[in-house]
Amino acid sequence: MGRLVMKFGGTSVANLDRIRNVALHVKREVDAGHDVAVVVSAMAGKTNELVEWCRDASPMHDAREYDAVVASGEQVTSGLLAIALQAIGVQARSWQGWQIPIRTSDAHASARILEIDGGELISRFKDRKEVAVIAGFQGISPQTGRITTLGRGGSDTSAVAIAAAIHADRCDIYTDVDGVYTTDPRVVPKARRLEKIAFEDMLELASQGAKVLQVRSVELGMVYNMPIFVRSSFDKPEDIDPHGTPPGTLICSEEEIMENHVVTGIAFSKDEAQISVRQIEDKPGVAASIFGPLADANINVDMIVQNVSEDGKTTDLTFTVPASDYGRARDTINSAKGKIGYARLDSATDVAKVSVIGSGMRSHAGVAAKAFGALAARNINIRAITTSEIKFSVLIDAAYTELAVRTLHTLYGLDQV
């Protein structure tokens, strides 16, 4: 007997039939003798709709009211699932964030979880054998007593945080795919499902564009060493042996992974923009004059390259920002032109970042060099490069994204045989 958190995403609770199916998954684990807390998302598309309503009501709306509106999607699904469970004879009670409570910062629309009191849930497991159905994505700010939300995709983070708070043995994330793949299978049909992946590798995959899990949930998993199992909610509940090993991907600590490949996976993101500041005088303080104002404007700069300008005397600085910040970043540089002193601003939004990730890179040399050769052979021009201990990324023309991902997937031996 153990304690489990089961999290179901939007497509898994998209309508009443699906919710009934989720109830059967939950019943299976309860019947196997586990204490179960369930975390649900809103029905697929619901949160988008609620966000749109806020925008339509007023483009400059109050973030506290945005949270009051968008948190409602999860309120509905948690109540409905509790009803569906009761209807098949499983004791269940729904909980909203404020009722647990899940205490968060007051950064509305992107709040961080500060503390969760798991005591009440644990005692209800003991006294009543009652399943807790918890609304994901939401919490309460203790200072203001108002409802907060954790940022889009935040119910993954709710699930892992609750798993840590109730000392669960595992956090199961049920979704519309059956695990984490070496890359997006829609782009590379030969992508393989990973049996296990280390927290660190998963963190990089998620940060670099893989959309399976919210980044913050993986961070929490790593901090609390909470194993996260990504699996499909479309597997028939009655076909699953609760004591067996269903298909999925276990995200766990590196020590638990016996077979370590140098490269674990390849992520890509087209939500990038490139800005090049041309012909700046090459002297101390120039980088600060550019990146200082960007930081003040809360714009995240990712890749940075400095090189000699065409004239051979001055320097060019190229960097990337999220596509959504592109306009603001250009404006920020433009208004600092007097201080920076440059000749021209060039930019491109049809760029993509392709990242190769693997903690095995720590102990292997020449992993990136191989990629540069392979991309050159395909005539793919690299605009910028960044590297870290377990990852490197290249910025390329967006039109070549698929080709680059496929080339690298094959190069590093990730193709399914």
In the complex, the residues that contact ligand ASP under the rule CB under 6 A are 9-10, 41-42, 47, 73, 136-137, 152-156
Residue 212 labeled ligand binder: yes
Residue 170 labeled ligand binder: no
358 forms part of the interface with Mg ion (CB under 5 A): no
**What minimum distance in Å lies between the beta carbon of 40 and Mg ion?**
11
- Taking CB within 5 to 8 Å according to partner kind, which of Mg ion, ligand ASP, none is near residue 328? none
Residue 104 labeled ligand binder: no
**What minimum distance in Å lies between the beta carbon of 11 and ligand ASP?**
10
Cβ distance to ligand ASP smaller for residue 73 or 221: 73
Cβ distance to Mg ion smaller for residue 141 or 175: 175
Cβ distance to ligand ASP smaller for residue 151 or 185: 151
Residue 27 labeled ligand binder: no
Residue 47 labeled ligand binder: yes
- Taking CB within 5 to 8 Å according to partner kind, which of Mg ion, ligand ASP, none is near residue 73? ligand ASP
Residue 9 labeled ligand binder: yes
**What minimum distance in Å lies between the beta carbon of 72 and ligand ASP?**
10
Cα–Cα distance for residue pair 42/136, rounded to 1 Å: 8
3-state SS, the chain, equals CCEEEEEECHHHHCCHHHHHHHHHHHHHHHHCCCEEEEEECCCCCHHHHHHHHHHHHCCCCCHHHHHHHHCHHHHHHHHHHHHHHHHCCCCEEEECHHHCCEEECCCCCCCCEEEECCHHHHHHHHHHCCEEEEECCEEECCCCCCEEECCCCCHHHHHHHHHHHCCCCEEEEEECCCCCECCCCCCCCCCCECCEEEHHHHHHHHHCCCCCCCHHHHHHHHHHCCCEEEEECCCCHHHCCCCCCCCCEEEECHHHCCCCCCCCEEEEEEEEEEEEEEEECCCCCHHHHHHHHHHHCCCCCCCEEEEECCCCCCEEEEEEEEHHHHHHHHHHHHHCHHHHCCCEEEEEEEEEEEEEECHHHHHCCCHHHHHHHHHHHCCCCCCEEEEECCEEEEEEEHHHHHHHHHHHHHHCCCCCC
The CA-to-CA distance between both ends of the chain, in Å, stands at 38
- Taking CB within 5 to 8 Å according to partner kind, which of ligand ASP, Mg ion, none is near residue 342? none
- Taking CB within 5 to 8 Å according to partner kind, which of ligand ASP, Mg ion, none is near residue 154? ligand ASP
- Provide the mask over 8-27, with x wherever binding to Mg ion is found by CB under 5 A and - wherever it is not: -x------------------
Cβ distance to ligand ASP smaller for residue 41 or 274: 41
User: Which residue is listed with tokens 């890359």?
Assistant: 183
Site residues (CB under 5 A) for Mg ion, limited to 134-173: 153
Residue 148 labeled ligand binder: no
Token digits of residue 180: 């984490």
Q: Half-sphere exposure (CA, 13 Å, Cβ side) for 211? A: 12
- Taking CB within 5 to 8 Å according to partner kind, which of ligand ASP, Mg ion, none is near residue 152? ligand ASP
Residue 7 labeled ligand binder: yes
- 235 closest CA partner among 1, 392, 6: 6
**What minimum distance in Å lies between the beta carbon of 280 and Mg ion?**
42
**What minimum distance in Å lies between the beta carbon of 71 and ligand ASP?**
9
Residue 211 labeled ligand binder: yes
Amino acid at 375: L
Token digits of residue 245: 């090993």
- Taking CB within 5 to 8 Å according to partner kind, which of Mg ion, ligand ASP, none is near residue 47? ligand ASP
**What minimum distance in Å lies between the beta carbon of 222 and ligand ASP?**
19
Residue 339 labeled ligand binder: no
Cβ distance to Mg ion smaller for residue 50 or 297: 50
**What minimum distance in Å lies between the beta carbon of 156 and ligand ASP?**
6
Site residues (CB under 5 A) for Mg ion, limited to 44-83: none
Give the annotated binding-site residues for substrate: 47, 74
Residues that bind Mg ion (CB under 5 A): 9, 153
Give the annotated binding-site residues for ATP: 7-10, 175-176, 181, 186, 211-212
Give the annotated binding-site residues: 7-10, 47, 74, 175-176, 181, 186, 211-212
